Amino acid sequence: MLVKVFGSAVFGVDATTITIEVNIDKGIGYHLVGLPDNAIKESSYRIAAALKNNGYQLPGKKITINMAPADLRKEGSAYDLTLAIGILVASGQIQPEDVDKYIIMGELSLDGSLQPIRGALPIAIKAKEEGFKGFFLPKQNAKEAAIVSGLDVYGIENVQEIIDFFEGKGTVEPIIFDTREEFYKTLDFPEFDFSDVKGQESIKRCMEIAAAGGHNIILIGPPGAGKTMLAKRLPSILPPMTLREALETTKIHSVVGKIKEAGLMNQRPFRSPHHTISNVALVGGGSYPQPGEISMAHNGVLFLDELPEFKREVLEVMRQPLEDREVTISRAKFTVTYPSSFMLVASMNPSPSGFFNDPGSPNTSSPNEMNRYLSKISGPLLDRIDIHIEVTPVPFDKLSDSRNSESSASIRERVTKAREVQTLRFQENEKVNYNAQMNTKQIREFCALDENSKQLLKNAMERLNLSARAYDRILKVARTIADLDDSPMVISNHIAEAIQYRSLDRDGWLG
């Protein structure tokens, strides 16, 4: 008897429906075709044990299973439940009328219980697009998939539950999930707050500008100056995620199986990989491509602590994603693209000893050591970072000050207001949402300068020997400063402040 059931495979951040054809005929054998990986090939043992422990059996006949399209590589153990139901229907042990109207996915344990899967959200989105009636999957993934409206999502704990459903004697009901209500109900404030930071007013100002315009920023200072503490608080002043951003972010994290039981992510991600990370782990890829850290930070913050400690080739692979805000992984037979629109926040010591330019501590690094240390960061990468700022240690009188600093909530209000101005400015361009994303044409249009500002910028360009890309960065930052000042024009004060935030372009840093 020939039966068709349906599963799904995830490539990139999108799903592809997989048709699983099960044919049972005279003879003996278990034949699985359609480019399955080892985890799928081993499924027969899990399926046999799970069915036997629930009162069913793997028929002692010739079982041929084709996973179509046959030229598409299938991976993972999430097809266990799909194959098991196909075998039960083809062997006549259950006789459902509409099994082909559902997507069925789940990894089986030997007792028939189900283990969570990856990519539940993109699978649910594809199922709705293709007109499937419902989606059966492990209960742990049910809320994640139920974000998609117009699709019946059934979270089950055991293979027996889906069998009972198809035999008309089950009580399993579809999950009810109001996406908007859950998104706003669980929207809370980040854990870290700028009110905890003593002193560092100039650095807070830089962080506010970076957040308002979506600018990449690097913090340079000696150990203990507070670089990591400041970076961890940046998400607390970013504008709240929109529902669209939340869905985009949840989809990426779903692909790598990092979604919590709540289902919908509503906090901007903060990713802080260790400096030993490989370039594949950072940007994504592998034999079976998966999103990397830069995609996991989509719509949030990627923090690279001690930037010169990262391998140079790892840092260089970020250059293209920083410009294009997406990363494309190409293989011989397919290409996948992951979104990677993130704010880069980096920190570094000014020298190997950590105390270069610190008047309170001696610099024990030789010139050769300094050059070797700083040469790990290429000029093109630094050009893609809009704001360079020095962080100095906080003096004792400010550390011991009992007065509270300005809270993240107050800063966030100003940042959100500036972002609203930018949203209105770029409303006709879907690819640009804030100042850091402006292209050359938009910079010329929205960052027009008067003669005083032009002369000021010209002098800085000549004295600091800045590149054309650095010129554009200064204009973008100046536009953000003007937005925070509620100024329609970029004036010389805004340009002067923006020039100050190019510390690594000055003589004495990178030569």
- pLDDT of 382 > 60? The answer is yes
CATH, domain range 194-416 = 3.40.50.300
Distance CA 142, CA 387 (A): 42
**377 with 244: CB under 8 angstroms?**
no
In the structure, what pLDDT confidence band is assigned to residue 130 with cuts at 50, 70 and 90? Answer: very high
Using CA atoms, how far apart are residues 466 and 480, in angstroms rounded to an integer?
Answer: 20
**Where in 358-483 does DSSP place strands (E)?**
387-390
Q: What does the alpha-carbon distance between residue 164 and residue 56 come to, in Å, rounded to a whole number? A: 13
Helix (H) or strand (E) holding 454: helix 451-464
CA–CA separation, 432 vs 41, rounded Å?
A: 46
Identity of residue 89: V
Nearest to 311 by CA among 274, 349, 365: 274
The first and second tokens of residue 273, run together, are 């990989």
Sign of CA dihedral 385, 389, 392, 393: negative
Reported confidence tier of residue 511, pLDDT bands at 50, 70, 90: very low
Residue from 365, 346, 347 nearest 355 by CA: 365
Q: Which amino acid is at 358?
A: D
DSSP state of 53: T
pLDDT digits (tens, 9 = 90+) for 147-168: 998 999 999 999 999 999 999 8
Instruction: Label the pairing between strands 134-138 and 102-104.
Output: parallel
Cβ count near 227 (within 10 Å): 25
Per-residue pLDDT band at 77 (split at 50, 70, 90): very high
Q: Where are the alpha helices (DSSP H) in 25-130?
A: 38-41, 43-52, 80-90, 120-129
Asked if residue 346 lies in contact with residue 218, where contact means CB atoms within 8 angstroms, the answer is: yes
pLDDT for 187: 58
The pLDDT value recorded for residue 218 is: 94
Q: What is the pLDDT of residues 97-112, one digit of tens each?
A: 899 999 999 999 999 9
Residue of 134, 143, 140 whose CA lies nearest to 162? 134
- DSSP-assigned letters across all residues of 256-288: TT---TT-S--S--EE---TT--HHHHHEETTT
- pLDDT tens digits, one per residue of 19-75: 999 999 999 999 999 999 999 999 999 999 999 999 999 998 999 999 999 988 899
- What percent of the chain shows pLDDT beyond 70? 92
pLDDT of residue 141: 93
> Domain limits of the chain?
2-177, 194-416
pLDDT for 510 beyond 50: no
pLDDT range class, residue 466, cuts 50, 70, 90: confident
Q: Which two tokens stand for residue 55?
A: 């009162």
**In this predicted structure, what is the pLDDT of residue 273?**
96
Cβ atoms of residues 101 and 132 within 8 Å: yes
Q: How far apart are CA 199 and CA 397, in angstroms?
A: 9
Q: Are 147 and 228 in contact (CB under 8 A)?
A: no
What pLDDT band is residue 396 in, cutting at 50, 70 and 90? low
Q: Choose which CATH entry (3.30.1330.10, 3.90.180.10, 3.30.565.10, 3.30.230.10) describes domain 2-177.
A: 3.30.230.10
Q: Using CB atoms within 10 A of its CB, is residue 274 exposed (0-12), middle (13-18) or buried (19+)?
A: exposed
Task: Judge whether 175 and 191 are in contact, CB under 8 Å.
Answer: no
Residue matched to tokens 């409206």: 149
